[in-house]
Amino acid sequence: METAKKLYYSKRGEVLVKNLKKRHFDAVYCDTKEDALKQAIAWIPEGSTVGWGGATSAQQIGLMAALNAGNYHTLDRDQCETAQEREKIAKDCLSADVFITGANAISMDGQMVNIDGNGNRVAAIIYGPGSVVVIAGMNKVTDDLEGAITRARTVAAPINQQRFGLNNPCTVTGSCADCKSETCICNHIVVTRHCRPVGRIKFILVGEELGF
């Protein structure tokens, strides 16, 4: 069964890479986390200032650890001691050379959907950093854009909410209630359907299940 899933992911990945490139993204498919890490490092020049928002998939392939240990200037919120320091790092990421992120969902026709509470992550994807590297497991891929938006809202957000533990309905039920809570984490839903400048946003699609 594992071999069948690998084949399924690789065949969908081949199609998705082509569709992303049609939209002027750069994109590669990697079978394993290890290959994905090598590709990510190849896309990040030594000496670069590198930042990230919430990027569980990138952590799972070992990218943050490699960057913190390498010849890079990393903007790492997890090393901050105060909320003020974290806020400064979030703003500094907007002018980083490279920004690392995951994707809440990607449609097979090459459109990315991300959902954000404060907006710092989607802001950096949209504008600012010279390069954006997206690490995404093939479990994030849906057949169409409607499915991608649904996945972001009803799968990714409620699971992330379990990590944050905020006082929102999905913390209790595990299901989206389309809430308007003060601590709602679904305040910004962004569809990135095309890349300009060409190649600024780069996708590493991984033939494993990563992130949420």
What distance, in Å, lies between the first and last C-alpha atoms of the chain? 22
Q: The pTM is what?
A: 0.95
Nearest to 97 by CA among 76, 120, 74: 74
- The single-letter DSSP state of residue 117 is S
Average pLDDT, whole number, for the chain? 95
Give the pLDDT band (50/70/90) at residue 2: confident
Query: How does pLDDT run across 167-199, given as a tens digit for each residue?
Result: 888 988 999 989 999 989 899 999 999 999 999
Domains of the chain: 2-206 (3.40.50.10420)
Among 26, 12, 31, 208, smallest CA distance to 134 is for 26
Confidence of residue 1 (pLDDT cuts 50, 70, 90): low
Residue 79: predicted pLDDT:
86
pLDDT of 39-92, one tens digit each?
Answer: 999 999 999 999 998 899 999 999 999 999 999 999 998 888 898 999 999 999
**pLDDT on residue 149:** 97
Cα(173)–Cα(123) distance, integer angstroms: 29
Q: For the residues 150-168, what does the mean pLDDT come to?
A: 91
